[in-house]
Amino acid sequence: MNERTTIRLPAELLKRAKRKAAAEGRTLTALIEEGLRRVVAEKKQEPSQKKRKPLPVSKATGGLRPGVDLTQMWKIYEMEDLEYVERMKHFK
């Protein structure tokens, strides 16, 4: 039996979650449920085993990678969202 609950989320996170759910053609509830299931099911990893996300910094110059503008964080969030959608395609 499903239960109803109320959660409080930062506005920006909720906006991104709704956008991601719409892009994947599913409900916000389904997206949240999948995320919770993953978190609850994941095994505890040692800090050295965690996958680190690459920084938007060029190894060659030490500066930001071309196309990265830290004054427009929404672009970085959008890139992360698109990467997430690609990763989720492999789980289906």
In angstroms, rounded to a whole number, what is the distance separating the alpha carbons of residues 34 and 18?
14
CA 2 to the chain's CA centroid: 25
In angstroms, rounded to a whole number, what is the distance separating the alpha carbons of residues 9 and 40?
19
pLDDT of residue 46: 59
Strand partners, 64: 57
pLDDT, tens digit, 9 for 90 and up, residues 5-29 = 888 888 899 999 999 999 999 999 9
pLDDT of residue 20: 93
pLDDT of residue 19: 93
Domain ranges of the chain: 10-37+65-92
pLDDT of residue 83: 80
Of residues 6, 19, 10, the one with CA closest to residue 78: 19
Those residues of the chain that have pLDDT short of 70 are: 44-60, 62, 64-68, 91-92
pLDDT of residue 71: 77
Both structure tokens of 3: 């239960």
State the average pLDDT for the chain: 79
